[in-house]
Structure 1
Amino acid sequence: MGKVIVITGGGGILCSTMAKALAKKGHKIAVMDLNLESANLVAEAIRKDGGEAIGLAANVLDKSSLERAKTKVNDQWGSCDILINGAGGNHPLGTTSNPFLLESDLKNTTEGFKTFFDLDPEGIKFVFNLNFIGTLLPTQIFARDMVGKSGCSILNISSMNAFTPLTKIPAYSGAKAAVSNFTQWLAVHFSKVGIRVNALAPGFFLTEQNRTLLTNTDGSLTQRGQQIIDQTPMGRYGEPEDLISSTLFLCDDASSFITGVVIPIDGGFAAYSGV
């Protein structure tokens, strides 16, 4: 019998791929996204393929918005069995222009150029809130219904940044490290009430968010894009489908004794020292 699965950030490329794969296994999918149109498009695609899905608008930083979404899920299918916290992202105001600080940078007056000392606290707060608070609040809302049920779990989306921080993006790296730590904390905290908590840590996947950072308009790699491929033993970027097997496994009762793990899906990036 299929489970009721709620996916935040479900309108995005990675989470929509996960949603469609889970729907093919007979699960009922609530596709939640800040953009209702994106959520509805994914839900419609699932229904056209013979699955069950609804699209819902919800802000992962707004409890009342999440409560309204939960009510709709409950009215449609009953209580949530699995929550996938997929909403997240970065912000330019939490990013430095260069990977290393040079003395000459302090005299650089180029518009938009940012050193560590120029990072905007509001941009950093945005990144931490979206990734960490945006994981905590949906868990508070949807996990309450899981208490005492069997076969319930939470799957967070961390990043290989959580293992080794990338240059230039301190806010995002720190926020995803918080998600990994929170995953372990929750796994222990919920261990007596039958809720497993795990996370995926994707490496580099080409999405609309990072395409201009990693590739040029002609499709060739940028300098940073080439650095990433050189650091990835498998020699390629991840495809959305690369997340499916781990997602299905961690959401399935076959992993009933697995909790508190963060699985890198990064082509060996986090394991490679560079030499």
Structure 2
Amino acid sequence: MGILSGKTALITGASAGIGRATALKMAEAGAKVVVSDIVVEAGEETAAMIRAAGGEAIFVRADVALADDVEALVAKAIDTYGRIDCACNNAGIEGRIAPLVDQPIDNFDRIMAVNARGTFLCMKAEIAAMLKTGGGSIVNIASVAGLIGFPGLSPYVASKHAINGMTKNAALEYGKAGIRVNSICPGGVDTRMLDSLADQATGGTRSSAQMMDPMHPIGRIGKPDEIAEAIVWLCSPAASFVTGINMPVDGGFVAQ
């Protein structure tokens, strides 16, 4: 019996990277998984990987910045599996690197729409569902950029600080209802997002690992599976007394 046996888990941004790793780890832990993303082919592939390994999974396309999409996603999860016990709100974008004065307004608006508004909309729908079934656990994916500043990334930093703030507030509001809400703050992780940031920062002259490995006291960037392990733990009964935290999983990055 896995640590999440009998549970239903919903993961956004699950077509690749941390989201896909989390969906697979949730399934390994025994959960039925609702995989969501705006990238249909890769999202379907994540769900197929779970089913091929003997698990249960469906894919639902949803843009987390759109309230109707999020409400339909949660409704589909409930229609299919009856409830949502665990949710990982992972969908996010990085946007452009530029000093604040040079940041395009539409870049700020899009990042906030996906990262901050998207997390808000997902929590709003997920918590409403969990209140009807006696509780659950939500893990929001923030960033070390939600704990400290990063020159050139003002909109991204703002969005991730917003996620960490909403996480604390929701934990306070719904703790007595049996709903735990936490966030994970990854350091550099080997994903397409980090590759995009490295390309912007170095003009494609250095890989994300070459750029970021030395910045981490552990000596390397993380792997999506390492972040997924922490997410599964926070969703599990093993973390039953943990709520309202913004948990770095960052190879010591913010300890510096």
Q: What's the TM-score once normalised by structure 2's chain length?
A: 0.91
Structure-2 residue corresponding to 1:52: 56
Aligned twin of 1:171: 155
Max radius of gyration: which structure? 1
Residue aligning to 2:195:
211
Q: Paired residue for 1:78?
A: 82
Tell me by how many angstroms 1:226 deviates.
4.9
Cα distance change, pair 257–148 in 1 and its aligned pair in 2 (3 A): farther
The aligned residue for residue 100 of structure 1 is none
Displacement of 1:263 after TM fit?
1.0
1:210 partner SS = helix
2-side partners of 1:123 and 1:29: how far apart? 32
Does 2:103 align with 1:119? yes
Asked if 1 retains the 8 angstrom alpha-carbon contact of 2:89 and 2:139, the reply is yes
Work out which of the residue numbers 144, 156, 160 in structure 1 matches 2:128.
144
Q: Which moved more, 1:81-90 or 1:115-124?
A: 115-124
Task: Output the TM-score relative to the length of structure 1.
Answer: 0.85
Q: Does 1:187 align with 2:191?
A: no
The 8 Å contact of residues 80 and 143 in structure 1, kept in 2 or not, is answered as no
CA contact (8 A) 1:148 1:194 kept: no
Counterpart contact for 1:203–1:265, Cα < 8 Å = yes
Deviations 1:7-32 (A, max 9, x none): 11111211110110110111000001
Partner Cα distance (1:227, 1:33) in 2: 28
CA contact (8 A) 1:213 1:225 kept: no
Letter aligned with residue 80 of structure 1: I
The answer as to 2:39 corresponding to 1:35 is yes
C-alpha distance in structure 1 between counterparts of 2:104 and 2:121, whole Å: 24
The residue number in structure 2 matching 1:6 is 10
Secondary structure class of the residue paired with 1:22: helix
Aligned position for 2:67: 63
Query: Any gaps of 5 or more consecutive residues in structure 1?
Result: 97-114
Over the matched positions of the two proteins, sequence identity in percent amounts to 31
Higher helix share: 2
**Residue 221 of structure 1: how far off its partner (Å):** 3.6
Please, what is the CA RMSD of the aligned residues? Answer: 2.1
AA aligned opposite 2:15? G
Contact 1:73 1:79 in 2 (8 A): yes
